[in-house]
Structure formats: structure tokens, C-alpha cells
């Protein structure tokens, strides 16, 4: 059972990351950019999206990444708006998936009759919702190359955006450095990390909203 749950967790993470990247691809394609289609990023075929090192990290640490979607913003009618919408599409889909899984879990609890089935189903759905909310919040951090930086950059002048994107070559070093510092501070303070704390607040808020809605059914 533990092995099955571990495999399901990997599948959930993989699905959520691929869905995130496909959301970027479809939004860019919808805005007139043929690049995602030409590079095969509109397909759900995981082989088109999986990054080898990201997959290895996913298997070992349950954290990974997919290949970034190549886009060409020159095709957008309104370039800045296009960049904003494409960057937002990934986190937005993850939040939608999170809400759908929370609603599903609430409905299972409300109408389920078999305790074991209800217990397993709600655990899996809850885990799936946390994965997607984590992906959304993490990607909204405004440090290049994360989506948050593209969203913020869409409000900048051309020169400011170019200067801002120069940080991208050091982006992952900065991100992992901040996450490491966050963990270190949490270790010495005996509290949760800032990211986990923020995740908990948002998750509890969504759960509360879903439960209030389900209570009317």
C-alpha cells in the first residue's frame, strides 16, 4: 500500500507539472503563437514535457520540473497582455485543479458511505490539491525564471524588463538560496517555513470556502 501511494504521489506531481506547462502552451497558442504547436507542447504525451533531471528529482525527492514551454511573444496582438496571460495560465490552472480536488473531497466526505473508500479518496484528493496549490504559489514568486517574474515584468517598461530578466541566469541559485535560508530560520526558530506558513493560510482559506459552499447542498 505504501508503494502504491508513493507511485500515485509521483503520478500526481507529474500530472500537475505537465498540466501547468500545457496551460502556458495552450494560452500562447490561443493568442496566435504557433511555437507551442510546432514544438509539440500541445499534446498530453508526457514524453514531450518531461525533463530528465526534473524526473529524477521527482522520483527521489517528490519535487521536480518539466521542460519550459518555448513561446514567441511577437505573435501576440498585445504583447504585454499576452505575456501576462501566458505566465498566469500555469498557476491559474493549478489553483483550479486544487479547488476541483477540494470540492471532490468534500463531496466524498458528505455522501460517501464506505469509511475505507472515503478515507483513501479524501487523502489522495487532499494531497493532489496541496501539490497544485504548492505549484501555483511557488511559481508566483517574482524571481526569474518563475511565472511570477513574467507577470510582474508585463507591467514594466521595456528597459526595466530587460534589466530584470538579467537576473534569470542566477534565478535558481537565488530561489534555492532563499528556500534554504527559509528552512534554516525555521529550524532555529522551531516554526514552519514562511512558504509552508503561506501555503497553510491559503489552503485553509480555500478549504473553508469549499466547505461553506458544500454545506448548502
Q: Which of 9, 21, 38, 74 is catalytic?
A: 21
Q: Distance between CA atoms of 15 and 18, rounded to whole angstroms? A: 5
What the block records as the C-alpha cell of 147 is 511565472
* Neighbouring C-beta atoms of residue 94, cutoff 10 Å: 26
Q: Please give the full DSSP string across 109-120, using - where no structure is assigned.
A: HHH---HHHHHH
* Residue 76 falls in which region: left (phi positive, over 0), alpha (psi -120 to 50) or beta: beta
116 counts as catalytic: no
Q: Please give the full DSSP string across 92-152, using - where no structure is assigned.
A: HHHHHHHHHHHHHHHHHHHH---HHHHHHHHHHHHHHHHHHHHHHHHHTSSSTTSHHHHHH
Q: Which residue has the cell 479518496?
A: 121
Q: Distance between CA atoms of 88 and 204, rounded to whole angstroms? A: 22
Neighbouring residues of 50: CB distance < 8 A, sequence distance ≥ 6: 14, 18, 66, 67
- Using CA of residue 196, residue 91, residue 13, residue 69, what is the dihedral sign? negative
Q: Give the active site residues.
A: 21
Amino acid at each position: 500500500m505504501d508503494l502504491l501511494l508513493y507511485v500515485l504521489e509521483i503520478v500526481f506531481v507529474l500530472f500537475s507539472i505537465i498540466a501547468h506547462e500545457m496551460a502556458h502552451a495552450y494560452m500562447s497558442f490561443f493568442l496566435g503563437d504557433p511555437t507551442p504547436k510546432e514544438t509539440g507542447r500541445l499534446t498530453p504525451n508526457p514524453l514531450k514535457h518531461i525533463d530528465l533531471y526534473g524526473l529524477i528529482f521527482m522520483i527521489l525527492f517528490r519535487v521536480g520540473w518539466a521542460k519550459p514551454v518555448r513561446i514567441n511573444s511577437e505573435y501576440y496582438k498585445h504583447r504585454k497582455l499576452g505575456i501576462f496571460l501566458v505566465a498566469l495560465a500555469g498557476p491559474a490552472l493549478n489553483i483550479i485543479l486544487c479547488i476541483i480536488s477540494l470540492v471532490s473531497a468534500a463531496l466524498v466526505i458528505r455522501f460517501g458511505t464506505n469509511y475505507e473508500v472515503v478515507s483513501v479518496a479524501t487523502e489522495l484528493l487532499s494531497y493532489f490539491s496541496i501539490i497544485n496549490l504548492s505549484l501555483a504559489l511557488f511559481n508566483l514568486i517574482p524571481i526569474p525564471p518563475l511565472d511570477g517574474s513574467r507577470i510582474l515584468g508585463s507591467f514594466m517598461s521595456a528597459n526595466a524588463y530587460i534589466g530584470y530578466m538579467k537576473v534569470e541566469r542566477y534565478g535558481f541559485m537565488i530561489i534555492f538560496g532563499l528556500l534554504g535560508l527559509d528552512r534554516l530560520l525555521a529550524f532555529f526558530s522551531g516554526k514552519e517555513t514562511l512558504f509552508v506558513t503561506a501555503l497553510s493560510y491559503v489552503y485553509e482559506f480555500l478549504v473553508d470556502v469549499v466547505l461553506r459552499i458544500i454545506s448548502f447542498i
